[in-house]
Amino acid sequence: MNFNYNTLIVDLHPKTRSLSITFNRPESENQMNLEMLFELESLFGWLTAHLEVNAVVIKGQDNIFCTGFDEKELKIMSEEKLQKYLVRFQRLISGMLALPQTIICDLGVKASGMGLEFALGADIRLAHKDAQINFNALDKGWVPCSGGIGLLGILVGHSTARSWTLSSQNVSSSQALDKGLISESYNEATKARTDLLQSIAKQSPVARIQTKRSLLEAIMPELTRVFEFESIFSFASMKTNDWKKDPINNPEETFMSARELSGHLSQQ
C-alpha cells in the first residue's frame, strides 16, 4: 500500500501490524495546516476499514510533535472559516478515540497548543525525558476548543488542567508523567515505541477493539458535553480577532481588552 501525502509520511510495519504517521512540516515545527487536516481525515477513514492494523504511532519530524495550527494560515482566515476548521479538528480527535486501532502519540521533545489538544485523542502518549510541553492557547489568543479544557481535566484532574492552561507555563515530562498526561518518558524514542508495539501485537485483536470501545463508552456523555461547551466559549472569543495577532514578536499587535470587547459587542 502506497500513501501519497504532502504533509504526512506514512509507513506500514508488518512485523507488529502497525502504522506510523509522521507530521512532515519541519520548517514550521510541524504546525498543522488545512492540507494536513484533510490528509489526516483521509487516513483515519482508511484506518476504520483496516482492522488488521493493530496500532498507530503518530509523531513529528525532528522529534517535534506539533506546535499548533499554521499561524500564517490563521492570519488570513475569516471567523466563519476558522469555526468550520475547528469543528473538523474536533472530529479528528473524537475520531481517534473511536478508531479500532490503539493510537499512540509521541510528543517527542516539544509539543504545544493545538498540537497537544490533538494528542489528547490518543490512547497512549509518550514524551522524551527533556520534552517541553506547553498548553499555550491563551498566548495565541483563543480558548481551547477541542478537549483542551474538559478532556484534559478528565485525564489529569481539573485542578491541574486549570493550572496548566491558565499559566501557559512549560510542563516537564516528569510532571506530565506524574499527572497521567503521558504514560512514559524515554531516553530513546525508537525503543520505547517498539516495546509498546510489540506488546500490543501479542493481544487478542477482538478483545483489544472491544476494550477500546468500552473505554470510549465510559466517557462518551462527558466527551460530548466537553466539545459542546468548549465550542461555545471558543467561538464567542473569536470576536476579538486575537488569533490573528502576535504581540510577542509584533508589539504593535495587542490583544483586545475585555472592556474593549464589551463595547464592541454592545454596538452590534
Classify residue 100 by its DSSP letter: S
The CATH code that applies to domain 8-205 is 3.90.226.10
pTM of this structure: 0.94
pLDDT, residue 162, reads: 96
Element (H, E) at 13: strand 8-13
Classify residue 171 by its DSSP letter: B
**Averages of pLDDT over each 10 residues, the chain, 268 residues:** 90 96 97 96 96 97 96 90 92 95 98 95 97 94 90 95 95 96 95 95 97 92 89 88 86 84 60
DSSP β-bridge partners for residue 32: 69
Contact 18, 124 (CB under 8 A): no
Helix 34-48 vs helix 79-98: crossing angle, to nearest 10:
30
Boundaries of every domain in the chain: 8-205
**φ and ψ at residue 5, rounded to 5 degrees:** -125, 155
Cell match 494536513: residue?
Answer: 36
Cell match 464589551: residue?
Answer: 262
Contact 188, 109 (CB under 8 A): no
pLDDT, residue 265, reads: 54
> Which three three-digit cell numbers place residue 171?
510542563
pLDDT, residue 249, reads: 83
Question: Residue 249 corresponds to which amino acid?
Answer: N
pLDDT, residue 263, reads: 63
Distance CA 85, CA 77 (A): 10
> Which three three-digit cell numbers place residue 197?
508495539
Distance CA 224, CA 21 (A): 27
> Which three three-digit cell numbers place residue 125?
502518549
Mark out the alpha helices in the chain (DSSP H runs). Answer: 34-48, 71-75, 79-98, 113-119, 150-156, 158-167, 173-179, 189-201, 205-237, 258-266
pLDDT, residue 1, reads: 65
